[in-house]
Amino acid sequence: MLKSNIEKALNEQINKELFSSYLYLSMGNYFESINLSGFAGWMRLQSQEEYQHAMKILNYVNQKGGRVVLQQIADPKIDWESVVSVFEDTYEHEKMISGSINDIVDLSLGEKDYATHTFLQWFVNEQVEEEATALKILEDVKMIGDYKAGLFMMDRELGQRAPETEEA
Ligand code: FEO
């Protein structure tokens, strides 16, 4: 069984992960609109990963005999000023998600819910990677600036990203 406050926090996290999926899908559409199909493909894979994060939590809640309550997903932003601004938003979003995961870790410790605490360690580690990746791309696109050839090369590089094989 899950305590109701833990169940509520996990349900909210499912919503945040689904919103992340929606946001990255929207960023992908923005990249398509400015003919950066490699960046777009990268964002679509990111979106799929976020969906898998949501499923991982959903499966855990079900496994623990909790009740999954799907909530409305907010409209994502659809336009950005530049490639840099997309990755600024991505980095800020991932930091927010890390904070949200950390809050549930705190809650699980306070409630002595060691199973949830252990379950969340995967997300704690994942967030280190997610933040580092977003920051690295942000720094790269800032460095490239308006240099079109650099952007073109980065578009090709990001377009080579392969889907993750890990099961949710
Ligand atoms: Fe599921 Fe990017 O956090």
What is the residue extent of each domain of the chain? 4-158
Taking the CA of residue 127 as reference, the ligand 1 atom at the shortest distance is: 3
> Tens of pLDDT along 40-91?
999 999 999 999 999 999 999 999 999 999 999 999 999 999 999 999 999 9
Q: How far is the CA of 101 from the centre of ligand 1 (A)?
A: 10
For helices 114-144 and 37-63, give the axis angle rounded to 10 degrees. 170
Q: How far is the CA of 130 from the centre of ligand 1 (A)?
A: 7
**168 falls in which pLDDT band (50, 70, 90)?**
very low
Among residues 75, 127, 119, 73, the alpha carbon closest in space to that of 100 is found at: 127
Taking the CA of residue 54 as reference, the ligand 1 atom at the shortest distance is: 1
> Cα Rg for the chain, rounded, in angstroms?
17
**162 falls in which pLDDT band (50, 70, 90)?**
confident
Q: State how far the alpha carbon of 5 is from the alpha carbons of 31, 34, 63, 88, 142, in Å.
A: 39, 44, 17, 32, 41
Residue 165 has pLDDT above 80, yes or no: no
Q: How far is the CA of 149 from the centre of ligand 1 (A)?
A: 30
Taking the CA of residue 130 as reference, the ligand 1 atom at the shortest distance is: 2
- Rounded to two decimals, the pTM is 0.95
- CA–CA dist 102, 97 (Å, integer): 9
- CA–CA dist 140, 151 (Å, integer): 9
Ramachandran assignment for 57, one of left (phi > 0), alpha (psi -120 to 50 degrees), beta (any other): alpha
Just give the CATH number of 4-158.
1.20.1260.10
Q: Cα torsion for 112, 113, 115, 121, to the nearest 10°?
A: -80
Residue 56 beta carbon below 6 angstroms from any ligand 1 atom: no
